[in-house]
Structure 1
Amino acid sequence: MDVHRVSNHNQMDYNLDNMEPKHGKMLPCPEDRFDSGLDSLKEDELVTEFEDMTVDAHDHTQEYEPWRNAVTEDGDTPLHLAIIHEATEHALHMIKLSHNHPFLNLQNHQRQTALHLAVITEQPLLVEKLLKAGCDPRLTDDSGNTALHIACKRGSLACFGVITQNCQRHLTSIVSFPNYNGHNCLHLASINGYISLVENLVQLGADINAQEQCSGRTALHLAVDLQNPTLVRCLLDLGANVNCLNYGGFTAYHLTYGRQNEEIRCQLFERTAQELRELPDSESDESDMEDLDLSEDELYDDIKFGK
């Protein structure tokens, strides 16, 4: 069951090919399961639970234990639930009482922290409060994504801005860190076509020529795979190396073979070294250049099972 109240905020950098507004809401990514099994917990029951867990802000005794130790069968804490259901006041109260407390970094059974869920539900205020209270931005979920990875994957400029402004100490490592599919933040922003995030990441120091770990594609290779001429032009303007080879020995220009977009082909032909314009002799089979459905970043995994 997905969270149904993911707000449609103006700050989001939409990729209209991959996510479309519906009835004023944004549909969650199909592979993301946000509620961690909340079917058994109704909204009215949730409110009752929060009221029962009210804590006196001046009492630092064992009264903290009941709500800090409470978890659902899916590992969600009261803070997780408050964020999922956008019970902002309850969430802010628990964050305030848990400054630098391990409670803020507890992970549910999908290894999501409160910070992950605040980004997923597009609540930048809670993202900021969590970070300032001591939530660790380096923690990853069961897909290897930090909260910043999720912001880049979903195109959330608001949450991206809050995280990057409040994580200067760890920003370099988080930006370059690959998830379990081998993709760093720049790869995710590129795969999903978020031009603004690509520009911001490069300005923040992201390596524009970093290779994703599955097949060695750079952001420029990914832009060609996506047949996104605007992204190709953006990356070239930002200084992407057109002569960088993926693990198969292909430049971004090589990936234009068998594809229709002449604008991309012309942009890359002019900049690619002459000796790198022809396909490698041993790899000239056009079957290696088939178009891929790139709606999900996981599809870049070159290892296919069950075939």
Structure 2
Amino acid sequence: MASGDEEKGKFDLMEENRIDSGIDSYKSFSKDEHYPKPVHEQRPEDGEVKDKLDSVTEERHDSAYISSSITVDNITDIIKTCLTSDSQDTESEETSDNNENEVNLNLLTTITDDGDTFLHLAIIHEAKDFAGQLIELFPREVLDIQNNLYQTALHLATYLNLPTVVRRLVEGGATLILQDHDGNTPLHVACEQGKSECANEMTRNMLPGQLRPVLEAQNWRGVTCLHLATMHRRHRLMKLLIKKGADLNVQEGTSGKTPLHMAVELHDVPAVTLLLNQGANVDAAMFNGCTPLHLAVGRQDATIANMLCQSGADQMIRNMEDETALDLADGNDDILALFPFDDIQISGRSVVGVNF
């Protein structure tokens, strides 16, 4: 057993390598258990790590959300099932095995005040090799532990753009459907942050049917992964999601916009082209009855309005304000040129084939 000075040295070493992320203390099932010496790898300075995690470590808070996370109270049940080993033939082998189990036990049972496991911390420090060793050691249930912001290791690996760690987590059985405190799954995070390589690793070996629950999941703002990719002009990610079976006409939960509505609002011609070519419903209506053509004309975007008309948009659809797209043209000659002039309008309504 190491002397008191040696133990203090090990603990001091860990203190020097911690980042300022609000981690004030460690909680362990036994105060006498020894912390394993961290693996030394080249990693960014603490300030750089903190900058990368500004959006995910602010105002950590406690919660009673337990349905999909492992707690300190029930993690012991997992340990009993994952640390059992066969008896050794020699005394030296048995001693070595016991020492290894003691280290493994400590790695599994240590959770910080922020709810982070050693795997969370390894990812925060971008210690990819150490994280890989922990992934091999931990059972799937431990890989899915959520911290106080409900972030799994997969969320953090995506935020920090660590595709090799993402791949190891997915291969190790990490769940894609768990949502953080914003309701985002790891794939939501990839689409919002533009982490294409991480998204590729998450979906690489997944069939469309397997990914459907993740692709259909809405965060607390009511948006899916395809909505987020569209909102942030992530065209490469949009193509990936569509290839994997994302619903082109899915409506977000607040106003009923489809990805096509969002692309039109952003005047994003490449995204509109992609969605129309892939078969998006050109006449999809929001909750207020507005179609993409209503939005294009209302925003005086003649280019996209023309694209929608060429794709067969119905120019006579009325929204809940009883307005057609033409009613929103506001005298724009380029847009008015898209609409037929042989129609007679009475009180704002087109009349075709009327005999006088």
Q: Is TM-score (shorter-chain normalized) higher than 0.5?
A: yes
Contact between 2:288 and 2:319, CA under 8 Å: does it hold in 1? no
> Within the alignment, does 1:170 sit opposite 2:210 as a pair?
yes
Which structure is larger by alpha-carbon Rg, 1 or 2? Answer: 2
The 1:29/1:201 distance shift into structure 2, 3 A limit, reads farther
Aligned to 1:225: 265
| Partners of 1:263 and 1:228 in 2: CA distance | 10
Q: Distance in 2 between matches of 1:58 and 1:167?
A: 37
Instruction: Call closer, same or farther: CA 1:5–1:251 in 2, change over 3 Å.
Output: farther
Deviates more, 1:164-173 or 1:89-98: 164-173
Do structure 1's residue 86 and structure 2's residue 86 form an aligned pair?
A: no
- Sequence identity of aligned pairs in percent? 35
Q: Does 1:151 align with 2:190?
A: yes
Which structure ranks higher in relative contact order (CA pairs < 8 Å, sequence separation ≥ 6)?
1
CA deviation after TM superposition for structure 1 residue 231, in Å: 1.0
Which residue of 1 is the match for residue 285 of structure 2? Answer: 245
Change (3 A) 1:170 1:57: farther
Judging changes above 3 Å, is the alpha-carbon distance between structure 1 residues 229 and 174 closer, same or farther for their aligned structure 2 residues? same
User: Structure 1 residues 144, 281: CA separation in 2 closer, same or farther (over 3 Å shift)?
Assistant: closer
Aligned 8 A contact 1:120 1:151 in 2: yes
> In the superposition, relative to structure 1, how do residues 197 and 146 fare at CA in structure 2: closer, same or farther (>3 Å)?
same
The CA deviation at 1:57 is 9.6
SS in 2 for 1:253: helix
The equivalences for 1:177-196 within 5 A come to 177-196=217-236
Please list the CA deviations of residues 110-144 of structure 1 after superposition, one character each: whole Å capped at 9, or x if unmatched: 00000110111111111111111121111111111
Contact 1:144 1:178 in 2 (8 A): yes
CA spacing shift, 1:58–1:148, aligned 2, 3 Å: farther
What residue ranges of structure 1 are gaps of 5+ in the alignment?
7-24, 38-54, 289-307
Selected match of 2:147 from 108, 111, 124: 108
Q: Distance in 1 between matches of 2:265 and 2:175?
A: 34
Say whether residues 1:130 and 2:154 are aligned partners.
Answer: no
Tell me the matched-pair count.
248
TM-score (norm 2): 0.62
Q: Could you tell me which residue of structure 2 aligns to residue 119 of structure 1?
A: 158
Aligned: 1:255 with 2:295: yes
Per the alignment, in what secondary structure is the counterpart of residue 223 of structure 2? coil
User: Post-superposition shift, 1:29?
Assistant: 8.9
Q: Hey, what's the Cα distance between the residues in 1 that align with 2:180 and 2:106?
A: 25
Superposition CA RMSD, Å: 3.2
Asked whether 1:264 is paired with 2:337, we answer no
The separation in 1 between residues aligned to 2:275 and 2:114, in whole angstroms, is 41
Query: Pick from 249, 270, 279: which aligns with 1:209?
Result: 249
Residue type at the aligned position of 1:112: Q
| Distance in 2 (alpha carbons) for counterparts of 1:114 and 1:148 | 13
Secondary structure at 2:113 match in 1: coil
- In the TM superposition, what whole-angstrom CA distance separates every residue of 1:13-42 from its partner, at most 9, and x where no partner exists? xxxxxxxxxxxx9x8597x224787xxxxx
Counterparts of 1:57 and 1:170 in 2: how far apart (Å)? Answer: 42
Residues in 1 aligned to 2:224 and 2:101: alpha-carbon distance in whole angstroms: 42
